[in-house]
Structure 1
Amino acid sequence: YKVTKSPYKEVGWAKIYRQCDIKLELPDSFTAFHWHEEMFEVPQEAKLLFSSDLVKNQGFILGDNVVGLQFHFEQDEDSVREVALNDGNYALQNNALHQTPEDIIKHGVPKENKEILFKLLDYLLV
């Protein structure tokens, strides 16, 4: 499956929308951290799990034990600050989300993201 240049560079915070139901309760939408300008092709056997307004393929689920994600659940306040400060010029160049490094840091990591991530990880372990 291919990874190609995305039509939009997403750097910063943006909404993610759930696209299919799986055997756990996930919110219909949440705000996630993005730092990419590539996108992946969803495997033919997989279901599209998440999309954003700009990039359709933000996450997929394959069977009951494989999840692929484009956005970043793993970031905490320190890692967001670190990447924004050390690679902030990347955010300023052709960023479809129009967020500066300062905007990205100021936003903060939504508390529910860790809960959603742990729900997904628990699902994969069952």
Structure 2
Amino acid sequence: MSLADLPPDAPGPGPDSVPALPAAADRGATVIPTKVIARIAARAAREATRPDQATLASPDATARVHEQTARISLTLDLPYPIDLTAATCQVRDYVTARVGQLTGMTITEVTVTVRHLVLTTPAHRRVS
């Protein structure tokens, strides 16, 4: 017999018939693979560097995870001209916040390596 076979006025299961959940510590933990952390970090770096810069290559990321903390390394392109110090700090801060927000992990370090500076403004031609 299924619930569909019961008449509409039949009493439902009581609160005592539903088994209680085990304690949270006994249920286990959610494990996020390192590769997923790296992909989230690369996506966050892309969001931070080029909301309107389609000419930049996608960032590369690696992650090292230990329990609930992660260290992230990024390699990315940045547009030229740009203030490198400000741009890399902005990327680092954004990736730290975004990965922490999406995974619930504590991000202890984000290393940013600039692979290329990509000229985004047309070069001025000299007329002779």
TM category, shorter: under 0.3
The structure that is strand-richer by fraction is: 1
Higher relative contact order (CA 8 A, sep 6+): 1
Q: If each structure's helix is expressed as a fraction of its own residues, which one has the higher value?
A: 2
The TM-score with structure 2 as length reference comes to 0.27
| TM-score, scaled to structure 1 | 0.28
Larger radius of gyration, structure 1 or 2? Answer: 2
